[in-house]
Amino acid sequence: MIKIIFICLGNICRSPLAEAICQHKIKEKGLTDKISCDSAGTANYHIGEDPDSRSIEVSIKHGVPIQHKGRQFHYTDGETYDYILPMDESNMRNIIHELGYKHEGLFLMREFDAQDKGADVPDPYYGGKDGFENVYQMLDRSIEAFIGMLIEKHSL
């Protein structure tokens, strides 16, 4: 089983949305017995909370079920997950600091986005609904390409 974790700061906007999109795509591709995913935040602001209502709204709009309770990334996650996908450079640095090393499966989420490879997924928290839609589109493209890479690399 390939285990993936998506990381953002508070674990209520970007990373639970990425988790939901990934779970949806895994299910559509018949890979639920081969790939699992989760999400967490590098900060402890929203532990136990539901995703932001705007993340839920954009997810539902696209027919993607979303269920998650916020949790904080922990150094033991480095041993649990094969791939760690932070939304931005700041969270990547936080992960490396928490782990004490650079995990071999650590990639910025948008390393897999052909439209702006390697860019940050912007935090939509302080903006409007349009920001959440833009983030959804970035994540949808990036996760589709990421799953494609997993299928090829791991012969799924």
The residues spanned by each domain of the chain are 2-153
Statement: residue 127 has pLDDT above 90: no
Instruction: Please give the pLDDT value at position 128.
Output: 85
**Considering the chain, what is the average pLDDT of its residues?**
96
Residues 41 and 21: their CA atoms lie apart, in Å, by 17
Statement: residue 145 has pLDDT above 90: yes
Mean predicted confidence (pLDDT) in 116-137: 94
Mean predicted confidence (pLDDT) in 56-84: 96
Residues 36 and 127: their CA atoms lie apart, in Å, by 30
For residue 39, count CB atoms less than 10 angstroms from its CB and return exposed for 0-12, middle for 13-18, buried for 19 or more.
buried
Element at 5 (helix H, strand E) = strand 2-8
Statement: residue 134 has pLDDT above 90: yes
- The residue from 13, 14, 52, 110 that is catalytic is 14
pTM for this one? 0.96
Q: Mapping DSSP to helix (H, G, I), strand (E, B) and coil, where does residue 34 land?
A: coil
Residues 20 and 39: their CA atoms lie apart, in Å, by 9
Confidence of residue 138 (pLDDT cuts 50, 70, 90): very high
Residue identified by tokens 């589109």 is: 137
Statement: residue 105 has pLDDT above 90: yes
- The residue from 52, 113, 120, 123 that is catalytic is 123
Statement: residue 94 has pLDDT above 90: yes
Phi/psi region, residue 30 (left: phi>0; alpha: psi -120 to 50; beta: rest), is left
Statement: residue 37 has pLDDT above 90: yes
* HSE-up of residue 7 (Cα within 13 Å, Cβ side): 30
Is 130 tagged catalytic? no
Mean predicted confidence (pLDDT) in 65-69: 93
Q: How far is CA 150 from the centre of its chain?
A: 15
List the alpha helices (DSSP H) in the chain. 14-28, 53-61, 77-80, 89-99, 129-153
**Cβ of 98: how many Cβ atoms within 10 Å?**
16
Instruction: Please give the pLDDT value at position 60.
Output: 96
Is 14 tagged catalytic? yes
CATH number belonging to domain 2-153: 3.40.50.2300
Residue identified by tokens 């895994």 is: 26
Confidence of residue 96 (pLDDT cuts 50, 70, 90): very high
Mean predicted confidence (pLDDT) in 28-47: 96
